[in-house]
Amino acid sequence: MIRVLVNGADGRMGSQVVKAVYEDKDLEFVGGVSVTNIGKDAGELAGVGALGIAIREGLGQALDDIKPDVVVDFTTPKVIFENAKTCIEHGVNMVVGTTGLTAEQRGELAALAEQRKTSIFIAPNFSIGAVLMMKLSEEVAPYLPDVEIIELHHNNKLDAPSGTAIMTANKIDAARKAANAQQAPDKTHESLDGARGAKVDDIPIHSVRLPGYVAHQQVLFGGYGELLTIRHDSIDRKSFMPGVILAVKKVSSRPGLTFGLENYL
Ligand code: NAD
């Protein structure tokens, strides 16, 4: 049995993780940490009935007391770097779904994890369909290098552009460079601030935030007289759970830092 603690256990994603861990026969849910709903039963909040495990505050203390094998973190971009350092320093393997870690921060965490001989796995997107969307985008990019991304999320999302959109842009750019293919220059001369989106690797990313959406992305490739659009929709947070559970089971097999679910598929 792999003993799992969920950080952010009462959140939209965290409570789904509590349920998915509870329902998996190889995993044991042993603790839930948050800054809200302290003292409430994590199972009741996740909709699986009382588990006798109360949400508690303070990740470091919880790790000392509970000694889990793996921490799954779905908290906020503001606290994820500190959370990751805390887990690595405690020698606990970690699965990170929280977005917002910069490449520089990931580098620091990789060095720390290597030094402490722990494993940390980070995925901007745990859905299989989203990973395939990125893989297909990489394949198309050398042939149709002119591309823009539209990502659409619920209005409570704290970061923009989404981690998935940034990762998609990074991958498209690497594929274009490897094939010596370039995006045509943007000829826009006058525009309102933000009208052309935020540029990551010179690829415009347009972020939509509205109630009703969960997590959606379109990658639009333009050619001469033709367009190719790759679209992915997560319509339920359940879509992320097979990827999270897979990562929890595999995280210890790769020491150091691993980035992206494609490494486990
Ligand atoms: P949410 O606001 O519903 O949940 C976050 C939870 O973390 C809340 O319960 C909050 O109280 C708790 N929290 C805040 N600060 C904390 C701290 N210091 N310690 C412990 N808990 C703390 O948000 P959400 O929709 O569940 O998303 C969480 C994160 O996951 C976001 O960064 C989001 O972008 C990301 N996300 C990733 C994926 C993926 O596939 N990788 C999918 C969906 C969301």
Rounded to an integer, what distance in angstroms lies between the CA atom of residue 24 and that of residue 254? 22
216: how many CB neighbours lie within 10 A of its CB? 19
Q: Are residues 105 and 210 in the same domain?
A: no
SS3 of the chain: helix, strand, coil, percent, to 5: 35, 25, 35
Q: What is the pLDDT of residues 120-172, one digit of tens each?
A: 999 989 999 999 999 999 999 999 999 999 999 999 999 999 999 999 999 99
Q: Are residues 108 and 139 in the same domain?
A: no
- Which residue from 61, 73, 76 has its CB within 8 A of the most atoms of ligand 1, so it is best to mutate? 76
Q: 89 falls in which pLDDT band (50, 70, 90)?
A: very high
Q: Are residues 149 and 257 in the same domain?
A: no
Identify any residues that bridge with 148 across adjacent strands, giving them in sequence order: 220
Summarize the confidence of residues 91-104 as an average pLDDT. Answer: 96
Q: 9 falls in which pLDDT band (50, 70, 90)?
A: very high
Total domains present in the chain: 2
Q: What is the DSSP string of 60-126?
A: HHHHHHH--SEEEE---TTTHHHHHHHHHHTT-EEEE------HHHHHHHHHHHHHHT-EEEE-S--
Q: Is 163 annotated as a binding residue?
A: yes
Which residue shows structure tokens 């826009």? 188
Give me the pLDDT at residue 265, please: 86
CA of 98 to the centre of ligand 1 (A): 6
The pTM (predicted TM-score) of the whole model is: 0.90
Q: Are residues 197 and 220 in the same domain?
A: yes
Q: Are residues 183 and 139 in the same domain?
A: yes
Query: Is the model's pLDDT at 45 over the cut of 90?
Result: yes
Query: Is the model's pLDDT at 16 over the cut of 90?
Result: yes
Rounded to an integer, what distance in angstroms lies between the CA atom of residue 121 and that of residue 144? 32
Q: What domain range is 16 assigned to?
A: 2-122+238-264
Residue 229 exposed, middle or buried by CB count within 10 Å (0-12, 13-18, 19+): exposed
Give me the pLDDT at residue 68, please: 98
Summarize the confidence of residues 248-257 as an average pLDDT. Answer: 97
Q: Is 206 annotated as a binding residue?
A: no
CA nearest neighbour of 218 among 126, 123, 263, 153 = 153
What CATH number is attached to the domain comprising 212? Answer: 3.30.360.10
Dihedral sign, Cα of residue 178, residue 180, residue 185, residue 186 = negative
